[in-house]
Homo-oligomer: A and B are copies of this chain.
Amino acid sequence: MRADARRNRDRVMSIARALFEQHGPSVEMDEIARQAGVGVGTIYRQFPTKEALMQAVLASHIERVTIAARELAAAPDAGKAFFDLLARIASEFLVKGSLHLAMARAGLTVPEPTEERAEFERALGALLVRAQKAGAVRRGVTAPEVIMLARGALFPSDAHDIPTAMRRRMFEIVCNGLRTRPRR
């Protein structure tokens, strides 16, 4: 992709993410194009449908966490790095989850971004193992388990309308449960 095409794509994604976050899946492609300062044709060349754009936005939340994990991979305090990543996971996934839910309510489904998810799991796993070796995280727990626990705390099944504060409180309990030296 050429540099200016990539810049346009990044702008579109960033505007789309913000608009979807604020207004849900009803946002028009025209409005995204207008705010991103590009023609709507430019968007459609990269994202043939709004669903494709939404799918890219959902995947981008995972990618951002993966990037954060890689940035934290060499941090001096391995325990702090892992729990900083978990905090980032909560923030990104809460936004991603509410878009996902709004899409489901609008009858839209997108496939799970399998590749991005595998990358994310690998990056998380590296930080997890480092934090376990440093004695900050309980041994025996694996990256897929951390992800399942995080999802379960943030998005309990059969409870779609609970407040964000409750989701965060449950997530905090999971984080606490992973620590070998819990904070009161």
Interface residues of A (CB under 8 A from B): 138, 140-141, 145, 148-149, 151-153, 155-157, 159, 162, 166, 169-170, 172-180, 182, 184
Q: Is the CB of B148 within 8 A of A174?
A: no
Main secondary structure of the interface of A (DSSP, over half): helix
Q: How far is the CA of A88 from the CA of B141 in the complex (A)?
A: 22
Sample 16 A-B pairs with CB under 8 A, ordered by A number: A140-B169, A141-B169, A145-B166, A148-B156, A148-B159, A149-B156, A149-B173, A149-B174, A151-B156, A151-B157, A152-B153, A152-B170, A173-B177, A173-B178, A176-B176, A176-B177
The answer to whether residues A180 and B184 also contact, given A148-B159, A156-B152 and a CB cut-off of 8 A, is: yes
Q: With both chains docked as a complex, state the minimum distance between the C-beta of A114 and any C-beta of chain B, in angstroms.
A: 12
Partner of A145, one of B149, B170, B184: B170
Closest residue on chain B to residue A152 by CB atoms: B152
Q: With both chains docked as a complex, state the minimum distance between the C-beta of A150 and any C-beta of chain B, in angstroms.
A: 9
Q: How far is the CA of A44 from the CA of B53 in the complex (A)?
A: 55
Q: How far is the CA of A179 from the CA of B138 in the complex (A)?
A: 15
15 other contacts beyond A148-B170, A152-B170, A177-B178, with CB at 8 A cut-off?
A138-B173, A138-B176, A140-B169, A145-B166, A148-B159, A149-B152, A149-B174, A152-B152, A152-B157, A173-B178, A176-B177, A176-B182, A177-B182, A180-B184, A182-B182
